[in-house]
Structure 1
Amino acid sequence: MSKPNYSKETTALLFVDPYNDFLSEGGKIWDRIKPVAEEVRLIQNLKAIDAAVRGAGIRVFIAPHRRWEPGDYEDWAHPNPTQVAIMHRHSFARGEWGGDWHPDFAPKPGDVVAKEHWGQSGFANTDLDQQLRQRGITHLIVVGLLANTCIESTARYGMELGYHVTLVRDATAALTHEMMHAAHELNGPTYAHAILTTAELLATLPNAPVSDEATL
């Protein structure tokens, strides 16, 4: 893997799906990822990365999942298993608490929020690529949820489009340890240019403040 060089002019933090349903107590999916999330200190690491990249002058982009609305997927010919689950569970429902941003990761002035993705890739059928390229971004630090679905699909798609892609193994979570292993030990090395821990990432960021939040 190539040695990362995270220039503030060409690097973006790409935060995938920072919704309450994923990241907050009481969220529809939180209880299912909570064991892995707490083991890797997901929330603490996301806070540390968010603060560090902003301190380094790196811009934040958000790739949000489609917020469920009545009628979504019901007459689709080929909804995928996740979309079928969303249809029944009403994950990330528009206008409801679960589909709102986690309060610590809500967009701030200057952040770019891409169009919502319907499947698992933040790039497919959205304006994310255009938003990044118009701002001269070449390097993506991809964090958020879930490791083996939207993170993997978004990051892999980014590689196909020519971006330098970094995964952060403890700034994401999944439903099982096996899924985390697949995301970072089996699949990630086939497309990611760097796979780091939060502490390793923070050590590479230019002029980033030192944080005690990150997993050591």
Structure 2
Amino acid sequence: MTALILIDVQRGFDEPEFWGPRNNPGAEANMKALLDAWQDRRLPVVLVHHDSLKPGSPLRPGQPGHDFKPELDGARPDLVFGKKVNSAFIGDIDLDAWLKARGIGSFVIAGIQTNFCCETTARMGGNLGYDVTFALDATYTFDLPGLDGEVVTADELYRVTAANLANQFATVKSTKDILSGLG
């Protein structure tokens, strides 16, 4: 059985003045397509939210940005929990224990941000022995300043994350390919 783990699909990421330019404007539609497919098949769904401790962050608990995006309206998750760091394996719930208790040895990751919480969770999942599928086009990220002062674009970060994961930690697929594999 394969679980779907949706990471940090929160309204606070819709604030470009805080985050800067993003990539992959179709990500939310792909997240929704995955969620619908998992729920239609009664497969396990896990929703993770980031509980930022940083002052001024739109992802702080109690702020409107902490809420899930509308694409998750109507979700019937099997598990919902928060985390304060990048990995969903280090959160308010022991995700590893939860998955193992249910005999779940594989999962698909989608959400925000590609190169932070999604990638970190995929890496840890791979290291823990899970069969991880990374739904690249159901993620997005933002431009970042490089150490040399140049901007590293969201598209560059996205591409590098895919290469990092595919060569060590996960199978990187499109939403279309994941859905066609569900039958």
TM-score by length of 1: 0.72
Q: Which residue of 2 aligns with 1:191?
A: 168
The Cα shift of 1:29 comes to: 5.2
Residue 93 and residue 191 in structure 1: after superposition, are their counterparts in 2 closer, same or farther (change >3 A)? same
Alignment map for 1:90-109 (pairs within 5 Å) = 90-106=57-73, 108-109=75-76
Q: Matched residues in 1 for 2:34 and 2:160: separation?
A: 23
Q: Is the 8 A contact 2:113 2:140 kept in 1?
A: yes
SS at match of 1:49: helix
Q: Work out the percentage of aligned pairs sharing the same amino acid.
A: 28
Q: Is the 8 A contact 2:115 2:161 kept in 1?
A: yes
- The answer on 1:124 being equivalent to 2:90 is yes
Q: Matched residues in 1 for 2:117 and 2:29: separation?
A: 21
Q: Matched residues in 2 for 1:203 and 1:169: separation?
A: 15
- CA-based RMSD of the aligned residues comes to 2.0
Q: Is the 8 A contact 1:20 1:97 kept in 2?
A: yes
Instruction: Please list every run of 5 or more consecutive structure 1 residues that lacks an aligned counterpart in the other structure.
Output: 1-9, 73-86, 207-216
1:98-139, Cα deviation, whole Å (9 max, x unpaired): 01111221573452113x222111102541112211211111
Q: Which residue of 2 aligns with 1:212?
A: none
Instruction: Please list every run of 5 or more consecutive structure 2 residues that lacks an aligned counterpart in the other structure.
Output: 143-153
The structure number with the bigger radius of gyration is: 1
Residue 120 and residue 171 in structure 1: after superposition, are their counterparts in 2 closer, same or farther (change >3 A)? same
Residue 146 and residue 110 in structure 1: after superposition, are their counterparts in 2 closer, same or farther (change >3 A)? closer
Q: Matched residues in 2 for 1:59 and 1:171: separation?
A: 18
Q: Matched residues in 2 for 1:61 and 1:134: separation?
A: 14
- The answer on 1:13 being equivalent to 2:4 is yes
TM-score by length of 2: 0.84
Q: Is the 8 A contact 1:14 1:140 kept in 2?
A: yes
* Partner amino acid, structure 1, of 2:2: T
Q: Which residue of 2 aligns with 1:64?
A: 49
Q: Is the 8 A contact 2:35 2:75 kept in 1?
A: no
Q: Is the 8 A contact 1:13 1:59 kept in 2?
A: yes
SS at match of 1:101: coil
Q: Matched residues in 1 for 2:99 and 2:73: separation?
A: 19
Q: Is the 8 A contact 2:50 2:66 kept in 1?
A: no
Higher RCO, 1 vs 2 (CA within 8 Å, ≥6 residues apart):
1
Q: Which residue of 2 aligns with 1:173?
A: 140
Q: Which residue of 2 aligns with 1:151?
A: 118
Bigger share in strand: 2
Residue 49 and residue 29 in structure 1: after superposition, are their counterparts in 2 closer, same or farther (change >3 A)? farther
SS at match of 2:29: helix
Alignment: residue pair count: 171
SS at match of 2:21: helix
Q: Matched residues in 2 for 1:155 and 1:193: separation?
A: 7
